[in-house]
Amino acid sequence: MSLSVAAMLRGAVKVRIQGVGAEAFFGMCARRGLILRDIRRTSSDTYTVWTAAGQYRDLARAGRISACTVRILEKRGAPFSARRLLRRSALWAGAVICALFVVFLSGRVWTIRVEGCCDTSQAEILELMRQAGVKTGSKRANISRTAVRNHVISNCDKLSYFTLNFIGTNAVAHVWEREETPEKLAEDIPCDVISELSGVVLALRVKTGRAEVKTGDTITAGTRIASGTVTGALGETARVHASAEAVLRTWYTISTAVPAEVLTVASTERMNVRQSLVFGEQRIPLQSIENVRETWYDKRVKRQSLRLREDFQFPIALESEIIRPCETHGEAVNEEDLSAALKQRMLLRLRAAKPDAEITGYSFSIRQAAEGAWLGVLQAELIETTGTSVPIG
């Protein structure tokens, strides 16, 4: 019989009524307002019924008056389940220990992540954080985010700002790197303006000083484009802080050599597995394998962490290291595929080297050089702005 939620909370019992006075028993229960459910007759003088656990004493009293035997066959509900659980001391002890373990782990840092690094290595930031007390297993209550920020900023000149946030058992550090800006000469220091590039002058803008070149001139790196030495209306000579910039048309050539035959690596079907149990910073090998003797091999690491939810991760993980020996094969390079790949890669190199320049045109060629190598050549035409102030010697 399926019981309701209210009946399960109060507790219900299945009882057997046996005796010649069963009819008198049921009449007495009706007069006393006792609720009986699922009444079934199992023999000529035997019945089974379900009733609330609190009514069993009244049923037993009615049974004695009507010369019937009342016996409990089954118990269901929260009161009986709780009574059985209370007798299991080992279960409760385990639950208490597990709860204490979770509370202990939830108050500590088990994973540390650094975001925003570009020129600065994550290892350097992690080492500075470790010196400030942020490491795997550290108690969160003992970590001062202000002290950690001050320690990292004061010991790393590459950073302009640093923040540390806690998400569950995770410590997430965000760094902002310092942008180096060239030092400018003071306005009261006399100086000339020179070009850092070579090319043809397309435009010249002189704010102060005297122009030394004109549009259409071809100049080289180091050429003075504006002078800080000027002559007045009466012929007197003065030195000022020259300010100017020139727009140049420049040309660059990039070349890259690639072997005519490349070495390809393919994994074999053979596989070696090494598993380790990682607890915090400790690694316990569960099985060992022989050292890989092959020159080429493919290595993949799978890590399964024990976690309650996304932001609460236990410091226990199973790490599987899968190693497959590889076989090498020499293959000839396809000229068409190599040409497309080299062209794209060299354009990316050019844009990375000249981020502020405008590429107005380029040409790419590939040819087979000595010893069977392929040589790719990219010739590009750019428009750039130049002008650097230098003190007058």
Q: What confidence score (pLDDT) does residue 360 get?
A: 93
Mean pLDDT over each residue of the chain, to the nearest integer: 82
Q: Which residues of the chain have pLDDT under 70?
A: 1-7, 180-185, 280-281, 287-297, 307-314, 393
pTM reported for the whole predicted model: 0.46
Beta strands in 19-62 (DSSP E): 37-43, 46-52
Which pLDDT score, from 0 to 100, does residue 338 have? Answer: 83
pLDDT, residue 317, reads 79
In degrees to the nearest 10, what's the CA dihedral of 188, 193, 194, 197?
Answer: 120
**CA 169 – CA 111 distance, rounded (Å):** 7
pLDDT tens readout for residues 166-196: 887 888 999 988 876 666 667 778 899 999 9
- Enter the CATH code of domain 111-177: 3.10.20.310
The pair phi, psi for residue 251, each rounded to 5°, is: -130, 140
Express each pLDDT in 217-226 by its tens digit: 999 999 999 9
* Residues 140, 142: Cα–Cα separation, whole Å: 5
pLDDT at 309: 65
The pLDDT assigned to 182 comes to 60
Q: Classify domain 5-83 by CATH number.
A: 3.30.70.260
pLDDT tens for 252-263 read 999 888 887 777
Give the other-Cβ count within 10 Å of 285's Cβ: 12
* pLDDT score recorded for residue 281: 66
pLDDT at 382: 94
Contact residues for 159 (Cβ-Cβ < 8 A; gap 6+): 120, 152, 153, 175, 176, 177, 178
Instruction: Give me the residue spans of the domains in the chain.
Output: 5-83, 111-177, 191-245, 255-261+333-391, 262-331
